[in-house]
Amino acid sequence: MASDKRSYHYIGRFAPSPSGPLHDGSLVAAMASYLDARAHKGQWLLRIEDIDAPRTIAGADKTIMAQLSCLGMQWDAPPVWQSHRLDRYRTVFEQLKARQLVYGCACTRRQLTGGAYPGTCSRGLAAGQQARAWRLRVPAGVVRFVDLWQGPQSQDVAAEVGDFIIKRADGLWAYQFVVVIDDADQGVTDIVRGMDLLNSTARQRVLAQLLGARAPRTMHVPLLLDEAGQKLSKQNHAPPLDHGNAVAALEKAWKHLGFPLLPRIESVSEFWAQAVPRWAARFNI
C-alpha cells in the first residue's frame, strides 16, 4: 500500500452528494481523503455532487460544509457544484457524439436481464424507436490499475459491464460521466473514497482515456457498516454526525481506518497534528 515516489503536485477532493448531512460513514471517506492530501502537502478540494437533482435536499450542502469546518477540514479553493456545470457536460457529450462514441438506447430496464449490456441498440434504433438514454461505446480490452489500499485491480469493462449509460432516461447526466469530467477539469491527481465505488473505477478510466485525460490514482477505503452489515448511508437513515463532539467523531473514523487511538487528544487541531504524520508514515509519503 505504499505510495509511489513520482514528483507531482497532489490535488485531492472530497465529493459528497447533498442528500443529507454527513454521517459516520461519510466521515471515514472525508477523513482519508483529507489526510492523504495533507500528508502529500497538496490541495484538498470540495465538490458538491448534486447532479442527481431528485435526491438533493435543499440546504444540505451548507450543512455539510459547516460539518467539515467543525471537524477542522478546510478546503483549499472555492467549492464546485455540479449543478453549475451543465453546459460543460453538454459540450463534452456533443464532442463524444461527433466522434460516434455515444449512441441512443431505447431499452427499458424491464427488457434487460442484468449482467453486461448486450449492445442491443449499438447499431442504431429501429424505425419508430426513440432514444431513452445514451450509452458510451466501450472499447475492448482489460483495464488494469493498482489501488493504493485494495491492491492490483482489473476489469474487462466491455465484457463485464458493456456500453454504459452516460445520459439517463430521465434526462439527467450519469454520475459515471460527470465525475470524470470534473476530475479532469480540476486537475485531480488522487481520488480517495469508499470501497463501494471501486467497481466504478474501470469505467471511469475508460472514459478518461477517451477524453484524453490522465486517470487519477485511487485509494478505496473500507466502508463503515451498520448492524445489519449494510453500508452506513443516508438512504439507510444513518444519523448525522454529532456537532457537539467533533473529537470523538474523528477518533471513531480514525479507528475504523485501522489506526490505534491517538494519545492526549483534547481538540480538533491536536487530532490533525498527530494524525497527518502517522498517515504519511503508514503510506511511506
Asked whether the predicted pLDDT for residue 280 surpasses 70, the reply is yes
Rounded CA-CA distance 183/191 in Å is 9
Helix ranges (DSSP H) in 40-126:
60-70, 86-98
Indicate whether 40 belongs to any domain: yes
Indicate whether 6 belongs to any domain: no
Indicate whether 2 belongs to any domain: no
Domains in the chain, number: 1
CATH number for 35 = 3.40.50.620
pTM attached to this predicted model: 0.91
Indicate whether 176 belongs to any domain: yes
Q: Which domain holds residue 137?
A: 11-282
pLDDT tens digits along 36-68 = 999 999 999 999 999 999 999 999 999 999 999
Asked whether the predicted pLDDT for residue 27 surpasses 50, the reply is yes
Cβ neighbors of 284 (< 8 A, separation 6 or more) are 2, 3
Asked whether the predicted pLDDT for residue 233 surpasses 60, the reply is no
Helix ranges (DSSP H) in the chain:
24-39, 60-70, 86-98, 157-160, 175-185, 201-210, 246-256, 268-282
The share of the chain scoring above pLDDT 70, in percent, equals 92
DSSP-derived 3-state class of residue 111: helix
